[in-house]
Amino acid sequence: MKLTVRRQRSAKIVATLGPASSTDAMIERLFLAGVDVFRLNFSHGSHDDHRANVDRIRHIEKRYSHPLGVMIDLQGPKLRLGTFDQGRVNLPTGAKFRLDLEPTIGGDKRCTLPHPEIFQAITEGTDLLVDDGKVRLRVERCGADFAELTAVVGGVLSNRKGVNVPNAVLPISALTEKDRADLAFALDQSIDWVAMSFVQRPEDVAEGRKLIAGRAALLAKLEKPSALEHLEAIVEQSDGIMVARGDLGVETPPEDVPIAQRRIVHACRQAGKPVIVATQMLESMIKAPTPTRAEASDVATAVYEGADAVMLSAETAAGDYPVEAVDMMNRIITRVHQDPLFLARLDTDHPALQETTSDAITAAARQVASTVKAAAIVTYTTSGSTTLRAARERPPVPILCLTASPQIARRVAMVWGVHPVVTKDVSTFSDMVHKASRIAYAHGFAQEGARIVITAGVPFGTPGATNILRIAWVQAPN
């Protein structure tokens, strides 16, 4: 008999696999602690490592009959300094320094910056951030192959440290040759989400979509200030969004990051696109068994704002307490969902509806479920759009997603409030009601005599054709 797992919360948990968590036993423990989607970071590890982790995840998924999402995170372009003759130099505040394309080893006056795209984009007054912003260099004079700079904030420059250009759009593709090779490999592993780094403009998303060709859903990582200038267009072209606060916090003043986070989450909520809040959520749990109170509040804030998912990075990839970090995140989310103020806010914060039958039916399903005290909303979906619409409404009850597609079930595992189940398509109204009732009962969403609200599209199996709403009473199987 297959085991079933039901989460007692609506917001989801994404966890990154790495050296601390890439075993069968640990992945199972993370899943049981609350992970809904596993992230594979292609900045680290080999293809063989990632293939083995996908196999482990699918084994757990099959054992528990519980669809699990697999997300790959592409590295994107990495802009780095060259090397120094002593490995590093100390650059005092106010000191002069030069960056250029000369492929010679650097010293205390200059260094190679092997990225002509940067020199094309910068102008006098542009700031360059080195080593995650620890050193800030301001351009005094520049040309096609050099920049003369002053250290506004001095510090140590060392071999291959990263360089950020916060106030410029770089003429560079978001996808490197490594990314393209990684993407081709990952798509052959039937992964579910592709997180795309270094998105600066809508054209970057379009490039990624063309390569993915519908084989996975595309998640745009918003980590560049320039992306915020095109927020609505990027959201529209993406299947989901990640608020990548790490890199965003390097190129954006710290006081602006919470505002950007709220703006991004709001835009995704309006569009009905899933949104993840990521980076440094429980950072102290890399080395400690409990988080700081500020970190707990940070996770809770993301949930209160309406994020579909919150993400753990190094906490589960390389930390000393990966299971404890997931368990803590699960407890924080669950506690927020028990707060009457959270429930009251959900009931007042609904996006504007489009003038379509599908939106009208979905909004009605939320209202009906609330009025009749239904145990769950059951959505039949082929493409996932019916379920996404239901989640966009943030109903006060769980959303049971029934689909014949394992791929769609895995994709919506990341979506707020959704419990996906893979089942055969229905062909009649009676079959629709009977199956919804039986699965709601079997998965612990409804007891005998409880009511459920069902949405579907007729003809059955037609993508995007939500036009049926039905109230049903749950009966226990004979």
Residue 401: name the closest of 455, 469, 446, 354 by CA: 455
CA dist., res. 426 & res. 404, Å (int): 9
12-76+174-338 and 88-164, same CATH topology: no
> Is residue 468 exposed (0-12), middle (13-18) or buried (19+ Cβ within 10 Å)?
middle
239-268: pLDDT as tens digits = 999 999 988 989 899 999 999 999 999 999
What's residue 1's pLDDT? 38
309-351: pLDDT as tens digits = 999 999 999 999 999 999 999 999 999 999 999 988 877 777 7
Hey, which residues are catalytic here? 39, 80, 221, 279
Indicate the fold that domain 350-473 takes in CATH: Pyruvate Kinase; Chain: A, domain 1 (3.40.1380)
CA distances from 462 to 217, 273, 312, 359, 456 (A): 20, 21, 36, 16, 9
State mean pLDDT over 345-360.
Answer: 79
pTM here is 0.93
Domain 12-76+174-338 indexed as CATH 3.40.50.1980: no
State mean pLDDT over 23-31.
Answer: 98
Going by pLDDT thresholds of 50, 70 and 90, the confidence category of residue 146 is: very high
> Is residue 62 exposed (0-12), middle (13-18) or buried (19+ Cβ within 10 Å)?
exposed
CATH no. for 88-164: 2.40.33.10
What's residue 54's pLDDT? 98
Backbone angles phi, psi at 39, to 5 degrees: -105, 130
Going by pLDDT thresholds of 50, 70 and 90, the confidence category of residue 3 is: low
What's residue 358's pLDDT? 83
How do the domains of the chain map onto residue ranges?
12-76+174-338, 88-164, 350-473
Going by pLDDT thresholds of 50, 70 and 90, the confidence category of residue 477 is: confident
Mean pLDDT of the chain: 94
- Report the share of the chain in percent with pLDDT over 90: 86
State mean pLDDT over 1-8.
Answer: 71
